Structure 1
Amino acid sequence: MTLVAPSITPTLRAGLRRRRAWIVIAAALVLGALVVLVVQGGIRAPGAVLGADNPAPPGSKALVEVLRSHGIDVTQARGIDAAVDAAQGGATVFLYDELALLDAERLDELASAVDRLVVAEPAFGTLEVLAPGVRLGGTATGALDEVACDVGAAERAGELSDGQRLLTVDDDAQAAGFTGCFRDGEFGYAVVSGPGRAGGELTLVAATTVFTNDRIDEAGNAALAIGLLGASDRLVWYLPGPGDADAATAPTLAELTPGWVSPVIVLLIAVVVAAGVWRGRRFGPLVVENLPVHVPAGETSEGRARLYARNAARGHAADQLRIGAIGRIAALLRLPRSSDVDTLAEAAAVATGRDAASVARLLVADVPAGDREFVELAGEHDRLERDVRGSIRPDRSLSSSKGAVAPTGSADDPRASTGSADDSDRPTGRRP
């Protein structure tokens, strides 16, 4: 029965199984990146939120075009100075500070320079500066239809769509003249109006829903937005950018870091140094020791062959076969180690009667394209080596043709007690 050796070439399934840990890690990283993008709002329509020239759903180009069709001169301000200069002469200023870039000083400068200021979705710091006593109150429970104030734009709107945010007005703010519009029960108001810093009018709209392209046509959103921003002939549209942030007043890393972080870092450094000294004392000078390990040459060759087969490295395996064959043939032909392959091929061709070019091609040039060609190349090397060995072996048939040679084992033959004359040419350990 012929035993067929199983193939050890790795399949696609085996390769995936060996790399499943890295595949799982890569999938987890990609999933985590997608979650971060979703949480941080990375997947959203292009353009700035409430951008005057942004036609995407979160933009406000529809509102700006309607205002311009009513004869309102809309100007986009690219900085705090440009907004203050453009607001001179009774213009309305629309402010949406999405990232809360304006500090108290700049907010106070802007509020003191304008007559009519409309702020969309004010942050906590903005409320502290512009409207003390007005606080964030969460999200409305639904659509709002209770105007609850005498502001003209709110009365003309009548109601607001759902998705509104709320503001609360405490007693001090009410005493200062702030009133709320579109009340959601006892939770708060969607719009708060009161006196501005320079004696003008300040309006706080808790959400951006009233001004966005995708929601402005719902309920009375458009009426409220046009009524608030179209109260004067000129409108300054101001969205603060990174250039409006004051780097001098920005908190330092030490101010942002909790107080316990520095002591913990110092403690960790001390622990690492102590662990290094403690474990480092165990290391002495390196000692070379000859371990009593014997690895048979056959196991080494078989292991290397399996590695070559697993990686389909037929070129490396063929090189090893050529190196072995060239070394053995050179030893049989008694050629020096400094001999090149051409000299070896010519000597082997003379000894075997082959063509020198074919021998050189067999020992150097032939490259197996597949497993079949590799096996055939190995067989050709073996046959060449046998032919060389057979060409240098003495011809025993000559002894039978010469009648003067005495029979082996006779009393007159001096080789009878020491073996035949050919014994000296036989390899050690192969005596008959």
Structure 2
Amino acid sequence: MTAAPPSAAAPSGTADAVPADAITPTFRAGVRRRRIWIVFAVVLVLGAIALLVLRGGAAGAGQRLGADNPAPLGAKALVEVLGSHGVEVEAAADFDTALTAAKSGATVLVFDEFGLLDEQRLSRLALFSDRLVVVEPGFTALEALAPGVRMAGAASGALDDVACELPAAENAGALSTGQRLFTLDDEATADGWQGCFRDGEYGFAVAEGPSSGDGRIVLVGASTPFENGRITERGNAALAIGLAGASDELVWYLPGPLDADPDQAPTLGELTPGWVSPVLALAIVVTVVAGIWRGRRFGPLVVENLPVHVPAGETAVGRARLYARNAARTHALDQLRLGAIARIATALRLPRTADVSEIAAAAAAATGRDPWQVRAVLVEALPVGDRDLVRLANELDDLEHAVRATLAPETSTPHDAEHPGRRP
């Protein structure tokens, strides 16, 4: 039974050292050292993917209450039903198209989701429209079209109290949940406005009244009765068809960015709080003052001829101090081993393609040492502390000197000494 070879981690002259892993950092060690940055990168990638998915889902849903949008928030179902009943539906892309159609006697349905229309355009649209249906009007629309009508929040549930004489509301009879309410003051009531679908004392889901011209205006608090996903609930469909199909022509008008008045758009200063501008000015002043205070002087800091020659000893000492400060024993020992392995390979006249195992075997054969101990010194021994680092560095130096001493002329065999004229 043969004895097992000495441990790969056993240093010279010791027999009880424990095995050690290779000194060169592995892939797993590199990942463990950089795990914080990897976590940050993964979080950023996941966030970008989630944002793309959300934006893709929102983009795929189409325009809200769009006449050609089959999604739950679209209104294609209502448009198809109106078309089958002989109503010609035209989707207006801008204000001028909607105003021209209103002057021709068509019913105009307006859904200004982002409040792009100003009071002047809303007033002109109401002046020339015989029948104007406004879905989810904002504060600007209420001020321009119905000064006495105010928003009153969301309905408490489904509504079945019609409470008005509007034919479309009477045919509907009830509305589903998800409605928004209006309140009518005495001035609005005196002007001829009436509320439909009462929610107790809270308000009405629909308001109807006269326009500034000879037409009528209907305000619908929520888009729910017109949406594909909710139009079949209760009397939503009857109300939507009754309001939108009051005439043979319907203009479906969803204002876009081109309908916004650029002269009335708020500036950046108007959109930001009043304290932002002084804080920004103060931050700029502080930055300039700090730069002047900390800066040395203007112009070149050092005038010298380049390149600068730095002695190799200073570079080695500087790197050694960095390694010592960071307790990078493994990296420091790797640098010593790389230099020693290169010099030993050159002394043994090994090719550049020789790997560490071949160099260690050749060094062991040249010096007569145990191959396992030579390989431990060159590759596998791991420094646990500074004492081990110093010991392994000394063993590297001893191994290199032993290789060179073995190949020196004065170490020639006695057979060569008998023939002094023979070259070694």
TM-score (norm 2): 0.71
For residue 363 of structure 1, what is the aligned residue in structure 2? Answer: 351
Match for residue 358 of structure 2 among 364, 372, 376:
376
Q: Is the contact between residue 107 and residue 131 of structure 2 (CA under 8 Å) also seen in structure 1?
A: yes
Relative to structure 1, is the Cα distance of residues 398 and 74 closer, same or farther in structure 2, using a 3 angstrom cutoff? closer
Partner of 1:217: 232
Query: After the TM superposition, which residues 375-394 of structure 1 pair with which residues of structure 2 at under 5 Å, given as runs?
Result: 375-380=357-362, 386=403, 389-390=406-407, 392-393=409-410
1:324 is aligned to 2:343? yes
2:410 maps to amino acid: R
Distance 1:126 1:34, change over 3 A: farther
Deviation of residue 29 (structure 1)?
Answer: 5.2
Deviations 1:153-195 (A, max 9, x none): 0011000001111111122221221111001111111101011
Please give the root-mean-square deviation of Cα atoms over the aligned residues, in Å. 4.3
Structure with the larger RCO, 1 or 2 (CA within 8 Å, 6+ apart): 2
Supply the distance in 2 between the matched residues of 1:71 and 1:99 (Cα, whole angstroms): 31
Shift of 1:36: 8.1
For residues 203-236 of structure 1, give each alpha carbon's deviation from its aligned partner in whole angstroms, at most 9, with x where no partner exists.
0100010000010000000000000011101000
CA contact (8 A) 2:109 2:252 kept: yes
Rounded to whole Å, the distance in 2 between the matches of 1:139 and 1:37 is 32
The higher radius of gyration belongs to 1
CA deviations 1:100-153 (Å, max 9, x no partner) are 111222222222221111011111111111111211111111000011111110
Quote the offset at 1:376 in angstroms: 2.6
Specify which of 76, 90, 103 is matched with residue 75 of structure 1.
Answer: 90
CA deviation digits over 1:329-380, x for unaligned, max 9? 4xxxxxxxxxxxxxxxxxx8xxxxxxxxxx5xx33234x4xxxxx3333433
Of 222-231 and 36-45, the range deviating more from structure 2: 36-45
Instruction: Give the share of equivalent positions with the same residue, in percent.
Output: 51
Give 1:4-19 correspondences, 5 Å limit.
4-8=19-23, 15=30, 17-19=32-34
Aligned residues: 360
1:89 deviates by 2.3
Which range moves more in the overlay, 21-30 or 270-279? 21-30
Matched residue type, 2:362: E
Q: Distance in 2 between matches of 1:81 and 1:244?
A: 9
Question: Is 1:124 the counterpart of 2:134 in the alignment?
Answer: no
**What is the rounded CA distance, in whole Å, between the counterparts of 1:296 and 1:156 in structure 2?**
91
Matched, 1:167 2:182: yes
Q: Is the 8 A contact 1:321 1:378 kept in 2?
A: no
Q: Structure 2 CA distance, aligned partners of 1:225 and 1:215?
A: 11
Say whether the 8 Å CA contact 1:190–1:206 is kept in structure 2. yes
User: What is the CA–CA distance in structure 2 between the aligned matches of 1:18 and 1:9, rounded to whole Å?
Assistant: 14
Unmatched runs of 5 consecutive residues or more in structure 1: 311-315, 330-347, 349-358, 369-373, 403-432
CA contact (8 A) 1:322 1:364 kept: no
The code of the aligned residue for 2:343 comes to: G
When structure 1 is superposed on structure 2, of 49-58 and 127-136 the one drifting more is: 127-136
Q: Which moved more, 1:14-23 or 1:84-93?
A: 14-23
Q: Give the gaps of 5 or more residues in structure 2.
A: 1-14, 303-310, 367-399, 420-424
Partner of 1:91: 106
